[in-house]
A and B are shown apart, each in its own frame.
Chain A
Amino acid sequence: MTSPDKKSGEAYWKATLSLLTVILILWFVVSFGFGIILQPALDSIHLGGYPLGFWFAQQGSIYVFLILIFWYAARMNKIDREHDVHED
């Protein structure tokens, strides 16, 4: 294996891991953070008829999960092309 190849492989993996970290932090914040740990505090704020913590636990976190996956898929496609490892 030639070293430039290896270098670009490492850069690709590094870019993948940093995107992954951001995604997992957001995943944790909306579910475990807003939906569970901060739920009692957030419930004093209301979103329409929903207490906010309750909304995150039963609605909001699911919407954010959806956005996260599609955002991840789009970002990864871009990272693939930038590092020239995309599929044809």
Chain B
Amino acid sequence: MDLKTLTFVVVGLSFALYIGVAIWARAGSTSDFYVAGGGVHPVVNGMATAADWMSAASFISMAGLIAFLGYGGSVYLMGWTGGYVLLAVLLAPYLRKFGKFTVPQFIGDRYYSNGARLVAVICLIFISFTYVAGQMRGVGIVFSRFLEVDIVTGLLVGMGLVFFYAVLGGMKGVTYTQVAQYCVLIFAYMVPAIFISLNLTGNVFPQLGLGGAVASGEPFLAKLDMVVRDLGFQEYTSGNKSMVDVIAITFALMAGTAGLPHVIVRFFTVPKVKDARSSAGWALVFISILYTTAPAVGAMARYNLHATMTPGVLTGEVFAEGNGLNYEQRPDWMKRWEATKLIKFEDKNGDGRIQYYNDKSKDAEFNAKVEAAGWKGNELTVDRDIMVLANPEIARLPNWVIALVAAGGIAAALSTAAGLLLVISSAISHDLMKGILTPDLSEKSELLAGRLAAAVAVGIAGYLGYNPPGFVAQVVAFAFGLACASLFPTILLGIFSKTMNKEGAIAGMLSGLIFTFGYILYFKGIFITPMAENIPANWLFGISPEGIGSIGALLNMAVAFTVAKFTAPCPEHIQHLVEDIRTPRGAGGATH
């Protein structure tokens, strides 16, 4: 069977599995639709949260980012896992005790204000849509590369599938399909990682392989440091960003993770407060299997890539005659990826060989050698998003592994897209319609409204995936920065400050949101041209747009406390509500 047929079979089987699970677990009531009936076991919920959380970005992009950033990629590893500590100890158990369906509903009730609820709905919709556009794009890329179908066809198939189980199954359908998707994606991630770790270091566990040694007995990381240094790149194990920026980005990703509505809402589905606590731990167990493997995948992919393009680099003979790979003899995987334009070769010095190195090196000695060897600039551009997908091909693994990786990438994108679409639809049907506009909506009409909203959201997500507004690569900064600066501090104060009032919360949320949004827009220019060059010299306190959510969160709290000091105090019954949230006893199932 050729690769394409095999990929069709593997992806088709995984789809059949999801559809089967969705039919088995379809929703019958609003409680099923919003919180899966509130009876999900904490380990199952942890697994579903892991699939919900690990998106196309985690599966496809993260190891590639780490491969090219080296130590600098640590911000994603620590940021996207450390957030679960904040979630487990600061938010999840208390929101579970509160026992309602949605995040805006908590904010609306705690701050006794539909205005606050509306601001939360706006934050939520903005965060979730930017995020979902990236997922749909990921589905499109995998389909067009591996199944060689048109990107529109790929998107339509993906949308149809998400529509089927998110719209019919609601939270219940999504929860159990996410469990199936987790199994597919983690298997697909681990198999090539284990193969490659065995090949390079002889160690079954990639986590140990990364700290292991290559065949010659040298430590792998030391060898990799040498390889990239000899090609003029920054050493793999040391960073090049300023420390303050690294701290700000890591914190923004952590607090952003804890403030993402589609992650928080997963903790409304477990039966008890103590389940919410342990469930966050289980989620992190399932997530860390991938997150502790990703650094090994990234480092080993980088190593294999350089070893393929510049074979002499392994023996320290970068500049030996005829060293770069002869373009005519390039491997098949490179030809296949060239068709997608995600890897490009340009023979600048006309010698028919590939020179892949850092032509912006500031090392005079290195540059002199480059000059002497007759190199005329770097000739290969590699899109970092292909590292995970091309990894099994680069390492010459069997075809079934490649097919599996395609199915895994699609599982990661679909599970996250479904979770996001669900919080969007519940924000519209439950918060906007039932909560604010038409409070006398019957349960049946509300369920219908939820399904309609999910259907419309799927359509918009598909459109955004086909026509990305040019910012899919930048959405990470947006979604996390906004969640960190708007929702996270407001929920936190709602639990830990009895005296925080509605004026303070609304003013805080708005200032965090507007400041962060404005700062990112100022440097990245999403719909407009950037107003200043995105370089450290122009940044506030040396903090990049990726990390500015941290400052936004501080601003949110500072404004909230200042405004609360000068406005009417928080009513007595709300203070009792907060006291009640803080103790676990009496937590019922999540209700209206």
Contact = CB atoms under 8 A, between A and B. Distances in A.
B246 interface: yes
Contact of A23 (B74, B89, B211, B247): B89
B46 to A, nearest CB: 10
Interface residues of A, number: 43
Nearest to A10: B579
B584 A72 contact: no
Interface string B319-347: 00000000000000000000000000000
A58 B292 CA distance: 7
Interface string A38-55: 011001001111110011
Contact of A37 (B82, B238, B243, B277): B243
B81 A61 contact: yes
Given A43-B238, A66-B281, A69-B88, A59 B222 contact: no
Given A69-B88, A73-B277, A59 B207 contact: yes
B71 interface: yes
Most B C-beta atoms less than 10 A away, residue of A20, A43, A49, A68: A49
Given A47-B211, A57-B71, A36 B247 contact: yes
Nearest to A24: B89
Interface residues of B, number: 53
A25 to B, nearest CB: 11
A13 B85 contact: no
Interface of A is mostly: helix
Most B C-beta atoms less than 10 A away, residue of A24, A58, A69: A58
Given A20-B89, A32-B250, A62 B292 contact: yes
Contacts of B274: 73, 76-77, 80, 86-87
Contacts of B66: 58
A57 B70 CA distance: 11
21 contacts: A9-B583, A12-B582, A27-B86, A31-B78, A32-B250, A49-B210, A49-B211, A50-B221, A54-B221, A57-B71, A58-B73, A61-B77, A62-B292, A63-B292, A65-B81, A65-B288, A66-B288, A72-B277, A73-B88, A76-B274, A76-B277
Listed from nearest, the 6 A-B pairs whose CB atoms lie closest are A49-B219, A57-B74, A69-B281, A73-B277, A48-B211, A50-B211
Given A54-B237, A72-B277, A80-B584, 8 more contacts: A9-B579, A27-B82, A48-B211, A49-B212, A59-B210, A62-B77, A65-B284, A69-B284
Interface of B: 66, 71, 73-74, 77-78, 81-82, 84-86, 88-90, 93, 207-208, 210-213, 219-222, 237-239, 243, 246-247, 250-251, 272-274, 277-278, 280-281, 284-285, 288, 291-292, 295, 579, 582-587
